[in-house]
Amino acid sequence: MTDRTPADLSSEEIAAVRSWVIHEDAHVLVLDKPAGLSSQGGRVQAHTLDDLLWAFARSNGKRPDLVHRLDRDTSGVILAAKTKPAAGFLGKAIQARRLKKTYLALVAAAPDPAQGRIDTPLLRVEIGRESHMRVADAAAPGAQASESLYRTLAASEEGALVELNPLTGRMHQLRVHMASIGRALVGDPRYGGALTLAGSPAPRLMLHAWKLTFPHPEGGDRTVEAPAPDDFRRLAQAAGLTHTTLSRQERDR
């Protein structure tokens, strides 16, 4: 359950979270989350993105609530609801799988075939104090049906840039699914990913939530994008990977 106690934010934190806004209207708030910031919870004693949303609190004490999460080291688009009706509407949309999420990722070798569908059940397991996911037989107790799409956007002798679409929303789904076809994400040692690409160190998990299309409470669909961050683009460039999705574009506010 979300802690409703207002967080004590510094002026620097407030300025930072406000600078991450991609889109804002009366119903929703969309942010470009930086890598290294937990969405919610976590064991690190630092403010999470959920805490930072107190920077948008209204005079009645209400503030936006996240409607989905990103892993701590994943950057990019994340959606919050500004009102209780919007939260309910978006929650139902997620259950109905009406949100389309598109990610960019770097892998150390091009997938073969270049694009495809991964339909492999996943099972959550606890190892020490950490939660992991692993592929499982559909009949295994606790196994969850999981489905992802992947498409190679650019490839070189050093690696590949891939576009990923999770059709279900399991924890670490894209990371485990890509590892299951022998293409673990660069910077993801938990699931067997390389720590370098083209001789350059990976600064973090090379996964970026690039685009989100969602039904809007006022009707119709909205699509928002977050340009690939500098660390992602630099590593892709080092591997000789170029694509229009890596171009820095002005975010739609």
Cis preceding linkage at 229, omega within 30: no
Instruction: State the catalytic residues.
Output: 71
178, 105 Cβ separation under 8 angstroms: yes
3-state helix, strand, coil in the chain (%, to 5): 20, 30, 50
Buried-state track 14-33, b at ≥16 Cβ within 10 A, e below 16 = eeebeebebbbeebbbbbbb
